[in-house]
Structure 1
Amino acid sequence: MQPLAPASRYCFENDPALLGAQHRCLAAAYDPITLPRLAAAGVTAGWRCLDAGSGGGSVARWLAARVGPTGHVLATDLVPPAPPPSPHPRLTVAAHDIRHDPLPEAAFDLIVARLLLQHLPERLEVLDRLVRALAPGGLLQVDELDTSYEPPLLTPDGRAARLYTKFLAARSAVFRAAGGDPHWGRHAPAALRAAGLTDLDPQPHILLRSAGSAVLELQVHHTHHLREQLIAAGMTEDELHRVRSLMRHPSFCAASSVLYSVQGRRPRADEAP
């Protein structure tokens, strides 16, 4: 496999149809992890929330329904989600580059960043900006993947398993070529602690990629959305076709990558560091 030339852009092409499918897969796969964590954290009426890198907006819409008439949710992304047909009065959607555009300081009771930081070469600087945007006592939830663990579990034969493993390696190469770190999830807890947050609560989650599962559909989608980059990373058109067929096989299953859902709190002024 040839190394890819360095890049400085998000690896997923800004095609509305492809992004829409990507966001639907992500919401179906990971909302059942992200949203219960937020509910358990006590998100309620009056909270001021930021959903940074909001994608399709499913988390932001859930938050807007929780914060009531006295709260507010700001959803930001390079390409923000389209407002729903009946916009929620507590939800503001804005185009925003988290790397460069300003954020208000000490403004939010909750910030959610799901599958955002691992894509950014400036992830630690962005993390510091997110921490500064938290009000004292505010909560940051970072949900990030570590793709170093996602083995095939059942495939028709060893050749199919090797093909799937080649696809995973090519996909990781694509992320790295765009400045991402596909293994960064494992580093998120220590990064939040180094950024000054306390009460760290990391929770790892592994899902099963099997027929009909959203996490498997996301991988099939990657073979289309990242097609050109995967070919540049060493896959052939025939191999992409065969790995799609493999993942559609009713007997196929694999472990997902590990999603680390990490919460941390910004200390109040009267708390010891």
Structure 2
Amino acid sequence: MHPAPKVRQVARFVTDATYPMERTPAEFGRLRLQAESLAFDTGILLDRIGVGAGWRCLDLGCGAGGITDLLSARAGPTGRVVGLDPDAASLAAARRWAGEKGLENVEFVEGDAFAHAQPPEGFDLVHERFVMTTIGRHRELVDSALALTRPGGVVAIQEADAGVLTCYPPHPAWDRLKAIVTTAFEHAGGDCFSGRQVFRLAVEAGLQQVEFRTCVVGTRRGDPLVDFLPQTILSTKPVILKHGLASEAELARLVDDCRRHLGAPTTVQTSVLVIQVWGWKPVDTRRAPTIPTPGFSVLSVDRPRRPHSRRFTPTRGAVDVAPRAGVLWSVARHE
């Protein structure tokens, strides 16, 4: 039996009134299926960034576990992974799940992106997925992630664009449920189309070498994520009923009709488009040759043949970052 990851608490700031999803075992199960379905493409994102041994990683809005398992595997025993979420029930589910997986370098902390006890510039990587989708506050989230990232570190964002959420053949119940759920998120302050804004937000926030990638999950009868839309409707039912978007009887009928359609042998469905954006926090060149990051000092400044490098190996003592195009800072980290 592996020891359960630690859970540290701070005050809770995102409340049930501002979060559209119920915290239930069914919802936690939906989140795990979602994470598993996106694990391959999230792995590509982390590998493109170069996350490796010794990294200090933060998963903002980790929910029932988020991507902490993928980060844990890459950071290794010399690294550290923090999952931050405002909901105690979600963190309890995350702790059980992580304990079963033996994620010994993971800690779960109660708090949110805007009020927490995490150190400024304390992480090599700050990641968030579908937080803008659920609570909005797009620019604030990017700014908060940037503040938590060390100079030369990486901010990575994965957000949804429901524009490609489709099924074929079309069905009126499916179409109605999609309209209901996107409106419910909007009423709760979320934005199911937030992904299309993220690249611009990252550039405007000052991230450098900003990258852009998309992925989508397709499902058919029998696939684990085929019930994604009906289950999301059930998880957001309190918000739907509160705002009069549908009656309970109508929801029950629509969910049944939709599930029958999704269970047909010829029906296929695509999930939301997942937009992945990541970029490097610039080093403050105004303070050269001293980088204002504890444990780091400048060794040299050079102009490489390549415009930038993404190599970062903390345990080997070197990190290459580019504060501006064509300039490479070579930095040593002191343990």
Q: TM-score, normalised by structure 1?
A: 0.87
Picking from 119, 126, 135, the partner of 2:134 is: 119
- When the two chains are superposed, the root-mean-square deviation of aligned CA atoms in Å is 2.1
Picking from 63, 67, 80, the partner of 1:55 is: 63
> Matched residues, percent identical?
22
SS in 2 for 1:98: coil
d(CA) in 2 for partners of 1:129, 1:51:
12
Which residue number in structure 2 is paired with residue 244 of structure 1? 259
If asked which structure has higher relative contact order (CA below 8 Å, sep 6+), I would say 1
d(CA) in 1 for partners of 2:228, 2:72:
26
d(CA) in 2 for partners of 1:136, 1:34:
23
Which residue number in structure 2 is paired with residue 13 of structure 1? 22
Greater mean deviation of Cα atoms: 78-87 or 48-57: 78-87
SS in 1 for 2:209: strand
d(CA) in 1 for partners of 2:224, 2:101:
27
Contact 2:38 2:217 in 1 (8 A): no
d(CA) in 2 for partners of 1:58, 1:179:
21
d(CA) in 2 for partners of 1:227, 1:250:
28
d(CA) in 1 for partners of 2:109, 2:284:
31
Residues 63-107 of structure 1 show CA distances to partners (whole Å, capped at 9, x for unaligned) of 122212321111111232124147533211111122322432111
d(CA) in 1 for partners of 2:133, 2:280:
20
Contact 2:57 2:81 in 1 (8 A): yes
Residues 180-219 of structure 1 show CA distances to partners (whole Å, capped at 9, x for unaligned) of 0110000011111111111111111233232233442322
Q: Which of 1 and 2 has greater Rg? A: 2
Which residue number in structure 1 is paired with residue 301 of structure 2? none
Which residue number in structure 2 is paired with residue 193 of structure 1? 203
Contact 2:178 2:229 in 1 (8 A): no
d(CA) in 1 for partners of 2:230, 2:254:
13
d(CA) in 1 for partners of 2:52, 2:104:
16
SS in 1 for 2:32: helix
Greater mean deviation of Cα atoms: 164-173 or 87-96: 87-96
d(CA) in 2 for partners of 1:207, 1:87:
28
Residue type of the alignment partner of 2:187: A
Which residue number in structure 2 is paired with residue 151 of structure 1? 166
Which residue number in structure 2 is paired with residue 107 of structure 1? 122
d(CA) in 1 for partners of 2:203, 2:128:
16
Pairing 1:141–2:151 present: no
Which residue number in structure 1 is paired with residue 307 of structure 2? none
SS in 2 for 1:241: helix
Contact 1:150 1:256 in 2 (8 A): yes
Q: Structure 1 residues 212 and 261 mapped into 2: Cα distance closer, same or farther (>3 Å)?
A: farther
d(CA) in 1 for partners of 2:27, 2:204:
33
d(CA) in 2 for partners of 1:229, 1:209:
26
Residues 146-182 of structure 1 show CA distances to partners (whole Å, capped at 9, x for unaligned) of 0022232225xxxxx2221111000101100110011
SS in 1 for 2:211: strand
Which residue number in structure 2 is paired with residue 234 of structure 1? 246
Which residue number in structure 2 is paired with residue 224 of structure 1? 234
Q: Structure 1 residues 206 and 64 mapped into 2: Cα distance closer, same or farther (>3 Å)?
A: closer
Contact 1:189 1:262 in 2 (8 A): yes
d(CA) in 1 for partners of 2:266, 2:238:
28
Residue type of the alignment partner of 2:152: G
Q: Structure 1 residues 123 and 244 mapped into 2: Cα distance closer, same or farther (>3 Å)?
A: same
Cα offset for 1:111? 1.1
Residue type of the alignment partner of 1:96: G
Aligned pair count? 261
Contact 1:141 1:261 in 2 (8 A): yes
Pairing 1:171–2:181 present: yes
Residue type of the alignment partner of 2:267: F
Which residue number in structure 2 is paired with residue 77 of structure 1? 85
d(CA) in 2 for partners of 1:95, 1:148:
32
SS in 2 for 1:140: strand
Contact 2:134 2:185 in 1 (8 A): yes
Residue type of the alignment partner of 1:194: E
Which residue number in structure 2 is paired with residue 4 of structure 1? none
5+ long unaligned stretches in structure 1: 1-6, 156-160
